[in-house]
Structure 1
Amino acid sequence: MLYFWLSLAFVVGMIMPMQAGVNSTLAIHSNGALWASLVSFVVGSIALLCLAIAMRQDWPVLADLRQAPWWAWTGGFMGALFVFTGAILAPRIGATTMMALLVAGQLIMSVVLDHFGWATFPQHDINWGRILGVLFLIAGVVLIRMY
C-alpha cells in the first residue's frame, strides 16, 4: 500500500505544472489570473461536492468545524494563492523554473513542519541528510535557472 501512496504523490506532483499552464491559459481567456483562479476553484469545488455525494460522505457538523483552530481555516487561502500565483508565474518564468522554486520552497517548509511536528505532521528532527537534500535542491534550482 505504501507504494500506492508514493506513486499517487508522484503522479499528483506531475499534475502541478500542468495546472499552472492550464490556469495561465484560462487567464488569457478570462480577463486575468484572478478570474481564472476563481473559475478554477468553482470547478474544483463542484467536483469535490460531486465526489463527496458519490462517495456518500457524511456532511460535516458545524459544531465540530467551530472547534478547529483558526489556522486550520487558512488552507483555502493558501490553495487560492498557489493557483493564482501559478497562473501568473507560468508564462513569465516557465514550468521548470517555477516548479523548481515551488518544490524548493515546499521542501524547506516541510523540513520545518516535520521538525516541530506542526499541523498534524509526525515529528522528525532536522538532520544532516535533510539539510543536504535541501541544499542539493537549492543547487538544482540555481542550475535550472542558469541554463
Structure 2
Amino acid sequence: MNASWAFPFIFVAGMLQAVGAVMNGALNRSMVNPWLATSISFLLVLFLAIGLFACMPRPLPTVGDVARMPWWAPLGGVTGAVAVFAGLLLIRKLGAGPVNGATITANIIASLLIDHFGLLHMAPHALNPYRIAGAGLMIAGVTLIARF
C-alpha cells in the first residue's frame, strides 16, 4: 500500500469504528442478550475473514514464523472484543460521542505508554510535552462532549 493512503485509510477506518459501535448497540437492543449480540457480530467478522483467506491464501507462515511469534500475539482480537462489548452495552446510555471519544482517548493514552516504554516489541518513542499535551486535550475534549 502506498504510504500516502495510510492516513486517509485510517481516517475511514476510524469513522467506520464509530458507525460500528452504533450498529452494535442496535444489535444488542434487538438481541436483548449482549453475549448473543457479541457472538453474532464476531461470527460475521469470522466468516468475512475466512472468505477473504479463501480468496487470498498466500502467503502462509513458515513453522519458524509461528515459533518466533510472541505468545500474546493472537490475543489482539480478544482485546478488541472488550472494546466492542463495552460499546455494545454503553452506547445507548452514554451516546456515540462519549463512548467513542473515551475509547479513542484511552487508546491514545495506552499507545503513548506503549511507545514510551517500548512495550510489546515496539520501538521506543519517548513522551514529550507535546504528546502529553495532546493526550490532555483529548481528555478535555471527551469531557466536554460527555458533559454537553
Q: Normalized against structure 1, the TM-score is what?
A: 0.90
SS of corresponding position for 2:26:
helix
Alignment correspondent of 1:100:
101
Alignment correspondent of 1:145:
146
Q: RMSD over aligned Cα, in angstroms?
A: 1.8
More off after superposition, 5-14 vs 54-63: 54-63
More off after superposition, 78-87 vs 24-33: 24-33
Alignment correspondent of 2:90:
89
Unaligned runs of 5+ in 1: none
SS of corresponding position for 1:29:
helix
More off after superposition, 113-122 vs 46-55: 113-122
Q: After TM superposition, list the pairs within 5 Å mapping 1:8-87 onto structure 2.
A: 8-60=9-61, 64-87=65-88
| Contact 2:83 2:103 survives alignment (8 Å) | no
Q: CA deviation at 1:26?
A: 1.2
Give the partner amino acid of 1:92.
K
Give the partner amino acid of 2:43.
V
CA–CA distance in structure 2, aligned partners of residues 23 and 65 of structure 1:
33
Alignment correspondent of 1:109:
110
| Contact 1:23 1:33 survives alignment (8 Å) | no
Percent identity reads 31
Give the partner amino acid of 2:49.
L
Per-residue Cα deviation, 1:88-138 (whole angstroms, up to 9, x for no partner): 111110000111111110110010011122224332100111001011111
More off after superposition, 62-71 vs 105-114: 62-71
SS of corresponding position for 2:22:
helix
Q: CA deviation at 1:2?
A: 2.6
SS of corresponding position for 2:39:
helix
Give the partner amino acid of 1:74.
L
Change (3 A) 1:105 1:46: same
CA–CA distance in structure 1, aligned partners of residues 108 and 23 of structure 2:
24
